[in-house]
């Protein structure tokens, strides 16, 4: 299919799906089809979508916003409403075109204004434009439009009507319970219909799109009906239009779309129902003076009110606004939880151990000797032998101590802030409390983030203030100056640049815990007192192979797949990703010099890029024996659909599935091979679900293999010459 045709078709379908906060193609197609149960309204709605897309495309607006239907879903609602309420004549076509253009212009303009406050557009452009039409038509100037009799319009104007009514038609032979029929009619009202059939089809699409969203719609419907029953607000029953377009839509938007789904989000969603009741009644009274129906204005006001209230918090707590919108409550939830678990290190500056080889923490955080109070978050390091001694016999001179005179390294890139290099080293057993910190070097890494090493050897400093240093550069030598009865290295992180600054708890990015029998790989942790540790032994082939800089290109081929052309790109937020030019898939990643790991994937899950994403989900640049990397995938990657759908329903409250990843690298001849596996854990049951490997040769990726769902993909990777 031609790319422009595919793009336009996608934008049309998304314009329908986004009405229910979705980008699901099945839901979008179903909504498009059911809109034609009223042929005139369906055609008018589709026509407005096409006109709106054409207008914003010609005017050069953001292609991604056009693709997701952001500018065209309000014109869609306007078109369906217009075709429902007005008879077709010559004036009909003229005014629908003008109204569609106004709705599109309002969508663009209001989106900019609201986005500055972090608020969504919702259906405000539709409401405003439709009001203008109604006011104009009902004025002394006729405009040539003829209003049709519409049960929906009557329903909007009359807040309640008998909820037991089921209109005749295709489903007249089915005896549905009263409230079941009302639920389906309420959903159909979003498209200005009064149809059980339409509501059933929409329900199927919503269930395919999101189990969380659908379950919250049902729950909100039940609570709204119960609230009305006990308050007797509408003695003859709630208007099915307001049930669908205002009450349940507001609850679903708040509880499952704009907030990360959770027990707390459900609470606020259900709290929105009585607020919506109040707004429907109050706004109907106000605008009734001008013979204007409130349409979906209560939904807009309630949603914007709640979101504004949440955004003003200083401490977000456990009720979280959706940070990155994936147009799926499940994916929003799973990506958020997965990101909290594995992407928290992105908020840290990467500090590495300030030495080479194996050292031991002789005094940890809040140690009993000198790490007290506001200076307690510091670490002292020494070198010990097999007998756990820090010196050679007799231990009476500094030179007898293993750590004395050893290089002290910059723990990260930065600029030298302060250097003290003149303090005499102490005789063993003596301390200098006047010049407490002894010879010290402070590095500025970021504004408000500094590291300091102390008790260095006199005149050993290799740097001066103002020097730029890279991680691993030699700063000086370990000594015995200051309050130091025997040679050791003091390390701390601080927020100010002074020698005596208070300490800040901060983890090291990666290190090997030697206390563990199998040499445990630790990431973004602080070693405890007594821990023997050392830096990760980096394999240069691994590190070079995953040095995927923007502009890097490769061709990947596999039997049964079209060749894919990969390019490494950077987006507007300076995030790096691999882009498949063939399928349009994107895989975002991080490379921090010690590890390569993917953060998210978007696009075709049959793409070769997706298989590479699974295989190289996280790689540490080491081939040391026993160095196994573990991680977790987001749960939307679970392939067992019935099991995942059950998890989706329970996910806001309880997760019983986890999808685990593990990998290790080994040297085979002239090659490095990464071995990876995926396991799905359901409660206490663990099942292997994927095996994968990647081959590295000559400093680059040469091939990868993935076996999943009884499908084996063997791909060849050829790096293109980018010069």
Structure tokens at 335: 């990506």
Fold of 1-148: Ammonium transporter fold (1.10.3430)
Q: Are 178 and 163 in contact (CB under 8 A)?
A: yes
The mean of the pLDDT values for the chain is 92
Topology agreement, domain 1-148 and domain 159-327: yes
Closest CA to 601 of 640, 636, 626, 573: 636
Average pLDDT score over residue span 21-48: 96
pLDDT band, very low/low/confident/very high, at 151 (cuts 50, 70, 90)? low
Q: Write the DSSP assignment of 162-229 as a string of letters.
A: -TT----STTTTS---HHHHHHHHHHHHTTT---HHHHHHHHHHHHHH-HHHHHHHHHHHHHHHHHHH
**628 vs 400: CA distance, rounded Å:** 37
Average pLDDT score over residue span 458-478: 97
**404 vs 419: CA distance, rounded Å:** 19
Residue 332 to residues 17, 257, 299, 313, 335, Cα–Cα distance (Å): 17, 8, 22, 21, 5
Lowest mean pLDDT among 159-168, 466-475, 713-722: 159-168
pLDDT band, very low/low/confident/very high, at 316 (cuts 50, 70, 90)? confident
pLDDT band, very low/low/confident/very high, at 170 (cuts 50, 70, 90)? very low
pLDDT band, very low/low/confident/very high, at 163 (cuts 50, 70, 90)? very low
Q: Are 528 and 361 in contact (CB under 8 A)?
A: yes
pLDDT of residue 137: 83
Fold of 359-506: Glucose Permease (Domain IIA) (2.70.70)
pLDDT of residue 699: 86
pLDDT of residue 591: 94
pLDDT in tens, 399-415: 999 999 999 999 999 99
Q: Quick check: helix, strand or coil at residue 129?
A: helix
pLDDT of residue 154: 63
What angle in degrees, to the nearest 10, is found between the helix axes of 39-58 and 73-85?
Answer: 150
pLDDT in tens, 195-206: 999 999 999 999
In the predicted model, is pLDDT for residue 310 greater than 50?
Answer: yes
Lowest mean pLDDT among 106-120, 135-149, 381-395: 135-149
Q: Going by C-beta distance under 8 Å and a sequence separation of 6 or more, which residues neighbour residue 68?
A: 11, 14, 18, 23, 327
**341 vs 431: CA distance, rounded Å:** 44
In the predicted model, is pLDDT for residue 164 greater than 50?
Answer: no
pLDDT band, very low/low/confident/very high, at 162 (cuts 50, 70, 90)? very low
How many Å separate Cα 593 from the centre of its chain? 23
Residue bearing tokens 């500090």: 351
pLDDT in tens, 278-298: 999 999 999 988 889 999 999
Structure tokens at 556: 């990947």
Average pLDDT score over residue span 55-68: 94
DSSP 504: B
Average pLDDT score over residue span 599-621: 95
CATH architecture of 159-327: Orthogonal Bundle (1.10)
Residue bearing tokens 């750590």: 403
Closest CA to 38 of 85, 89, 101, 104: 85
pLDDT band, very low/low/confident/very high, at 346 (cuts 50, 70, 90)? confident
Average pLDDT score over residue span 63-75: 95
Average pLDDT score over residue span 232-243: 88
Would you call 154 exposed, middle or buried from its count of C-beta atoms within 10 A (0-12, 13-18, 19+)? middle
pLDDT of residue 573: 85
For the chain, which residues make up each domain, given as ranges? Answer: 1-148, 159-327, 359-506, 540-719
Structure tokens at 226: 């119960």
In the predicted model, is pLDDT for residue 721 greater than 80?
Answer: no
DSSP 232: T
Q: Are 455 and 492 in contact (CB under 8 A)?
A: no
Question: For the CA atoms of the chain, what is the radius of gyration?
Answer: 32
pLDDT of residue 237: 83
pLDDT of residue 175: 67
pLDDT in tens, 427-450: 999 999 999 999 999 999 999 999
pLDDT of residue 643: 93
> b or e along 318-328 (b: 16 or more beta carbons within 10 Å of the residue's beta carbon)?
eebebeeebbb
Residue 93 φ then ψ, to 5°: -70, -40
**193 vs 195: CA distance, rounded Å:** 6
pLDDT of residue 720: 84
The pTM for the full model equals 0.87
Q: Going by C-beta distance under 8 Å and a sequence separation of 6 or more, which residues neighbour residue 443?
A: 410, 411, 412, 414, 415, 416, 417, 450, 451, 452, 469, 475
pLDDT of residue 159: 53
Percent of the chain, pLDDT > 90?
83
Half-sphere exposure of 68 (CA within 13 A, CB side): 12
pLDDT of residue 161: 45
For the chain, the first-to-last Cα distance in angstroms comes to: 32
Closest CA to 629 of 542, 507, 715: 542
pLDDT in tens, 657-689: 999 999 999 998 788 999 999 999 999 999 999
pLDDT of residue 158: 59
**236 vs 329: CA distance, rounded Å:** 34
pLDDT in tens, 509-565: 999 998 766 688 899 999 999 999 999 999 999 999 999 999 999 999 999 999 999
pLDDT in tens, 75-95: 999 999 999 999 999 899 999
pLDDT of residue 716: 96
How many Å separate Cα 23 from the centre of its chain? 16
Residue 479 to residues 25, 212, 353, 403, 517, Cα–Cα distance (Å): 67, 61, 17, 8, 31
Percent of the chain, pLDDT > 70?
95
In the predicted model, is pLDDT for residue 160 greater than 60?
Answer: no
For the range 370-378, what are the long-range contacts, defined as Cβ-Cβ under 8 Å and sequence gap of 24 or more? Answer: 370/483, 371/503, 374/502, 374/503, 375/492, 375/502, 375/503, 376/503, 377/492, 377/493, 377/503, 377/504, 377/505, 377/506, 378/490, 378/491, 378/492, 378/503
pLDDT band, very low/low/confident/very high, at 152 (cuts 50, 70, 90)? low
Strand partners, 602: 586
pLDDT of residue 167: 41
**675 vs 668: CA distance, rounded Å:** 12
pLDDT of residue 165: 34
Residue 175 to residues 32, 203, 244, Cα–Cα distance (Å): 27, 18, 21
């Amino acid at each position: 299919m031609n790319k422009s045709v595919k793009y336009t078709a996608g934008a049309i379908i998304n314009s329908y799906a986004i009405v229910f906060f979705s980008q699901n193609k099945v839901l979008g197609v179903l909504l498009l089809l059911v809109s034609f149960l009223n042929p005139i309204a369906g055609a008018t709605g589709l026509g407005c979508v096409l006109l709106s897309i054409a207008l914003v495309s010609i005017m050069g607006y953001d292609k991604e916003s056009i693709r997701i239907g952001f500018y065209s879903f309000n014109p869609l609602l306007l078109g369906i409403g217009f075709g429902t309420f007005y008879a077709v004549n010559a004036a009909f076509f003229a005014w629908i075109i003008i109204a569609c253009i106004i709705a599109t212009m309002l969508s663009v303009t209001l989106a900019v204004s609201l986005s500055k406050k972090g608020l969504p557009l919702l259906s405000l452009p539709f409401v405003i434009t439709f009001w203008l039409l109604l006011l104009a038509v009902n004025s002394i100037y006729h405009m040539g439009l003829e209003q049709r009799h519409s049960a929906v319009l009557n329903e909007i104007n009359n807040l309640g009507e008998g909820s037991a009514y089921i209109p005749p038609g295709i489903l007249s032979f089915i005896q549905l319970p009263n409230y079941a029929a009302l639920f389906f009619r309420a959903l159909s009202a979003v498209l200005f219909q009064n149809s059980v059939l339409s509501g059933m089809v929409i329900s199927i699409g919503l269930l395919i799109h999101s189990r969380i969203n659908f379950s919250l719609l049902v729950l909100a419907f039940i609570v709204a009906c119960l609230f009305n029953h006990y308050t007797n607000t509408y003695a003859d029953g709630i208007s099915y239009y307001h049930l669908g377009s205002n009450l349940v839509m507001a609850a679903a938007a708040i509880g499952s779309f704009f907030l990360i789904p959770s027990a707390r989000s459900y609470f606020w969603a259900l709290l929105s129902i009585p607020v919506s009741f109040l707004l429907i009644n109050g706004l109907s009274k106000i605008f009734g003076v001008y013979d204007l129906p409130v349409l979906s204005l209560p939904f807009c006001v309630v949603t914007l009110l709640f979101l504004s209230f949440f955004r003003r918090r200083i401490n977000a707590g456990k009720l979280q606004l959706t940070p990155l919108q994936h147009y799926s409550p499940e994916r929003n939830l799973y990506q958020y939880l997965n990101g909290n678990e594995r992407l928290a290190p992105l908020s840290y500056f990467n500090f590495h151990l300030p030495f080479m080889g194996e050292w031991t923490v002789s005094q940890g955080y809040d140690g009993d000797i000198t790490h007290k109070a506001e200076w307690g978050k510091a670490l002292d390091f020494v070198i010990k032998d097999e007998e756990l001694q820090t010196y050679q016999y007799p231990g009476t001179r500094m030179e007898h101590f293993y750590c004395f005179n050893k290089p002290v390294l910059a723990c990260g890139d930065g600029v030298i802030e302060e250097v003290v290099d003149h303090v005499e080293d102490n005789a063993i057993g003596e301390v200098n409390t006047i010049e407490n910190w002894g010879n010290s070097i402070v590095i500025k890494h970021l504004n408000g983030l500094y590291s300091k090493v102390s008790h260095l050897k006199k005149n050993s400093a290799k740097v001066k203030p103002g020097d730029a240093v890279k991680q691993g550069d030699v700063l000086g030598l370990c000594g015995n100056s200051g309050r130091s009865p025997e040679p050791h290295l003091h390390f701390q992180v601080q927020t100010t640049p002074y020698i005596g600054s208070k300490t800040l708890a901060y983890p090291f990015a990666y290190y090997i815990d030697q206390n563990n029998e199998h040499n445990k790989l630790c990431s973004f942790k602080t070693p405890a007192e007594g821990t023997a540790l050392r830096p990760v032994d980096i394999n240069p082939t691994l590190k070079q192979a995953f040095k995927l800089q923007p502009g890097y290109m490769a061709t990947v081929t596999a039997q049964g797949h079209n060749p894919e052309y990969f390019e490494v790109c950077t987006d507007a937020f300076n995030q790096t990703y691999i882009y498949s030019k063939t399928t349009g898939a994107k895989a975002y990643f991080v490379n921090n010099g010690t590890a390569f790991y993917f953060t998210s994937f978007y696009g075709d899950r049959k793409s070769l890029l997706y298989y590479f994403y699974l295989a190289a989900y996280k790689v540490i640049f080491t081939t040391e024996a026993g160095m196994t990397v573990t991680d977790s995938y987001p749960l939307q990657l679970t392939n067992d659909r019935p099991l995942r759908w059950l998890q989706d329903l329970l996910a806001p409250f309880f997760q019983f599935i986890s999808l685990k990843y593990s990998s290790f690298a080994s040297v085979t001849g002239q090659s490095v091979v990464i071995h990876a596996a995926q396991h799905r854990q359901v409660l206490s049951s663990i099942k292997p679900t994927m095996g994968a490997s990647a081959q590295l040769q000559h400093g680059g990726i040469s091939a990868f293999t993935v076996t999943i769902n009884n499908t084996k993909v063997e791909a060849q990777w050829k790096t293109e010459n980018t010069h």
